[in-house]
Structure 1
Amino acid sequence: MMTRIPRRATSPSRLGERAVVLGASMAGLVAATVLADFFETVTVIERDVLPDHPAVRRGVPQGRHVHVLLQRGAQVLDELFPGLLDELAAAGAPAWNDADLSELHLSFGGHEMIRWGRLPIEPKDMAIYMPSRPFLEWHVRRRLQAMRNVTILEGHDVTGLTSTADRRRVTGVRMVDRNSAAERELTADIVTDATGRGAHTSAFLERLGYGRPAEDHIVMHTTYVSQSLRIPKGTLKEKLVDIGPGPGRPTGMFLVGNEDNTWVFTVFGMVGHQPPPDFAGMLSFAGEYCPAHLLAALRAAEPIGEVAQHRMPSSRWRRYDKMPRLPDGLLVCGDAVCSFNPIYGQGMTVAALDAVALRDCLRRGGPDLPRRYFRASARSIKVAWRIAAGSDLAIPKVQGRRSRSMRATSRLVDWMLVACESDPVVAARFFKVNGLIDPPVRLLHPATVYRLAVANLRRRRGAAPSRQAERSCGAESRPA
């Protein structure tokens, strides 16, 4: 049994007696650990019976597919749960933490990123961690369960929220035990909905008279299938393969190493391009764009279990930040606010950034919390949304609003990706933006724009830099 740990010694003043979190998703777990510093007790209500080991569960159907923790997400998790990243590594989760570009095979928009040398960055600051979703979730959940003022109530369905008579404040939840069918109410000073894309909060707000939040949509109809594998040791140098859609090709693949010497191979298609739901069909589907040495490794692999399939019709952002009125005592986080095209791996990191926004708002006290929180969380969501939207809307059949600024940004990104084929300094800056470390405006620094111009001019003239020249260029540059 894990030893229960006390509240943090630096805990701020309490804002209330009880906080309730709906859903033990990654978003719910990180929200709960933040709330534990501000409320006497935190109760997480989860409909699943949670496994006592890393395992895919019904409430997380995407758990069998590829997950990658972006750099900013890893930093936040290690801040909320000190030592978590070292714990994951010690338990066998692979990480790209030496800046060695030969260990990555990345292709975005038809541009293959530089694959030799090292990025001129501090490796640990830009490390990519690759635990499977069940493995990561289990480690985070164990940390949360060890907190003395946190309880996870498993096997319960939330049937509704309660409010004051004037409907100005949410006061708790109604729930039912899935085994006994017993119903009860739980009062709370604050309720946070982390039940994912299918969350019912917007409907509840409408019943209270607040209306529903407006929604932004990008309709891309992504279908992806995944197969767990064992690949003979020493077969591949790469730790992570990400081949995104390219011009005229709305398809792609991932190959990621996980704990226990296992791998997950995923192929995906958008706007009507559906991968076959069998391993042989997956290999054939990837044959158009997968390098020969990767295909050879996949053919030599041993499949583990069955192929898993998942569909995502659209990216959806519920704009709670734009609602003119909100009741006190109700927050929403993670996919319940914004669910992204999964091929960009942003979901867990944005959920972690939601928790940071919540923590920062709670430190300033409780008054007007929902409005302040939704506006704060929207700032990080907006960055991730624009990154994903720019890539999705480059595919003609994807439905969504294409603004003039987005078209200009797409041209800049294409110039950036051209430079990333050969310039490690530009690649490092791209990594920081894509990993949600730096804001996109950093790409407009005059020194970066100059390097983009040089790389693109060289491309138009048909010249390619020597590797020795690029190594020298990278070695002489300060870390990005």
Structure 2
Amino acid sequence: MENQVGNRAVVLGGSMGGLLAARVLAGAFREVLVVDRDQLIGVEGPRRGVPHGRHAHGLVARGHQILEAQFPGLTDELVGAGVRPGDFNGDIRWYVNGQRLRPSRSGLISVPATRPVLEYHIRNRVQAIPNVTFLERHDILGLSASPDGARVTGARVRAPGSDEEQVLAADLVVDTTGRGSRTPAWLEELGYARPEEEKIKIGLAYTTRHYRLDHDPFAPDLAFIPAPTPDFPRGAFFYRLPGDDNRVELSLTGMLGDHPPTDPEGFTEFARSLPVPEIYETIKDAPAIDEPVKHQYPASVRRHYERLSRFPAGLLVLGDAVCSFNPLYAQGMTVTALESLVLERHLETGGIPDPRAYFRDISREVDSPWDFSAGADLGYAGVEGKRTAKIRFANAYVARLQRAAVDDAELTNAFIRVAGLIDQPPALMRPRNILRVLRAGKAHPAAGTPSVPTADPDHDLGKAA
């Protein structure tokens, strides 16, 4: 232990956020205790606490980089488990409005592991850290605090089948319990204000089914991903599962209540409606392994802890408990990983992190991906929210860039780098990218499509670039 700042840290929640938090806390506390209501150790498949684990998950490029740095050799382990990595651009067939974006080598690695496989291997790595312990199958009841409520001193839990409450004393409690986090209510109980919440109601649902094929429809690629857009709001993630037994996963997506059905016939017809016929042609007569399963995601939610003027010492929040993103953009795990690096930096100062300084710093990590996804969602007419001049400009420009990327691999790479959280969104508006978009528009004008708006006081291209 290089820099011990306390005796015990308690992490509430054992999913990706909890595992990443435990990894960095282990270098600063004598003991790290991870608490979860589910059984965790040895679990290789989906579990109750991660209902979306049965559906397609994406770890974008920046997230992969962080995980490999925190757990060296993780990619090789996943390859050993049957995962086939590839290039995020060159080995994935990206479609927008039914047209494939021109591929090339991006140099960014895609690791198409399912959520259970990824979580299993990371959990094994965290479990191997000597001062990390998992307390499984315990309900999390709340916090314990000093008499004046100024400091959180631990967490209250209960074992299965028991009526007795147990208090886990801690120098630091980190809430990673996800979008259902009860920290806002716990703060209120201690006499603090709840954080402001920002919601984007998208009415999204995933419906997923698995098949076993007699051929590989992707070869030499990894996946087909028709991305939903306001013009074609139905989308899909279709990819090969880890292993060599020709199993594939198809997650169909629909926004604003247009949900993929769970009856087999309706599921297949929804696949037929996609603007990429290869998916329907592949699965229409294929033997299914299971019945379709749906997961609904009503709204993206951001809790603005950084705006609170008072917050108790000894408590932090991380991951989806702070910001839960529209999963279509596959940002959640990566932003959680970025937040864990913020936690690590604050621990390196040699003391228990100051909550207000910590929340200010993670807010900076959340701002850009939240603006990217929330702004894109406001491109759908049925999504409620204020459409500023900046949002209208960005959506019109990105739509033009995506059309141009059908014939321009450099623009595809630029978009993949921003979607992968490698580059910030203003990178799309670097002068060379703007010129390529404008040239493509002159060469192939699209009837009825918006032109690139001129810069205005709300969005100066010079500053953005």
Asked if Structure 1 and Structure 2 have the same fold, meaning a TM-score greater than 0.5 normalized by the shorter chain, the answer is: yes
Larger deviation, residues 233-242 vs 314-323: 233-242
SS in 1 for 2:442: helix
CA distance in 1, matches of 2:11, 2:208: 30
Alignment of 1:104 with 2:86, yes or no, is: no
- 5+ unaligned residues in a row in structure 1: which ranges? 1-10, 463-480
- AA partner of residue 106 (structure 1): W
Q: Aligned residue for 2:383?
A: 398
Tell me how far 1:51 sits from its aligned partner: 5.1
Alignment of 1:30 with 2:15, yes or no, is: no
Render the CA deviation track for 1:151-208: whole Å, top value 9, x for unaligned: 0000111111011112111110111101344321111111011111111000111111
2:171 to 189, 192, 217: 189
Q: Aligned residue for 1:469?
A: none
* Percent of matched pairs sharing the same residue: 39
Q: Aligned residue for 2:127?
A: 145
Q: Aligned residue for 1:235?
A: 217
Q: Aligned residue for 1:68?
A: 58
CA distance in 2, matches of 1:374, 1:408: 30
2:101 to 92, 114, 117: 114
CA distance in 1, matches of 2:128, 2:2: 19
Instruction: Sort the Cα spacing of 1:419 and 1:365 in 2 relative to 1 into closer, same or farther, 3 A.
Output: farther
SS in 2 for 1:438: coil
Q: Aligned residue for 1:439?
A: 424
Q: Aligned residue for 2:272?
A: 287
CA distance in 1, matches of 2:375, 2:232: 16
CA distance in 2, matches of 1:41, 1:97: 39
Matches within 5 A, 1:315-330: 315-330=300-315
Normalised to the residue count of structure 1, the TM-score between the two structures is 0.89
Matches within 5 A, 1:33-182: 33-50=23-40, 52-97=42-87, 100=90, 103-108=91-96, 110=97, 112-116=99-103, 118-119=104-105, 121=106, 123=107, 126-182=108-164
Tell me how far 1:378 sits from its aligned partner: 1.3
SS in 2 for 1:460: coil
CA distance in 2, matches of 1:301, 1:194: 39
Larger deviation, residues 291-300 vs 146-155: 291-300
Alignment of 1:343 with 2:328, yes or no, is: yes
Alignment of 1:412 with 2:397, yes or no, is: yes
Alignment of 1:377 with 2:362, yes or no, is: yes
SS in 1 for 2:259: coil
Q: Aligned residue for 1:252?
A: 235
Larger deviation, residues 63-72 vs 89-98: 89-98
Structure 1 segments, 4+ long, off by >4 Å, are none
Tell me how far 1:327 sits from its aligned partner: 0.9
Alignment of 1:266 with 2:251, yes or no, is: yes
CA distance in 2, matches of 1:249, 1:461: 16
Tell me how far 1:248 sits from its aligned partner: 3.9
Alignment of 1:18 with 2:21, yes or no, is: no
SS in 2 for 1:271: coil
Normalised to the residue count of structure 2, the TM-score between the two structures is 0.91
Render the CA deviation track for 1:449-475: whole Å, top value 9, x for unaligned: 22122122212289xxxxxxxxxxxxx
- 5+ unaligned residues in a row in structure 2: which ranges? 448-465
Instruction: Sort the Cα spacing of 1:458 and 1:364 in 2 relative to 1 into closer, same or farther, 3 A.
Output: farther
- AA partner of residue 454 (structure 1): R
C-alpha contact 1:268 1:274 (8 A) present in aligned 2: yes
Tell me how far 1:115 sits from its aligned partner: 4.1
RMSD over aligned Cα atoms: 1.8
Q: Aligned residue for 1:478?
A: none
C-alpha contact 1:232 1:300 (8 A) present in aligned 2: no
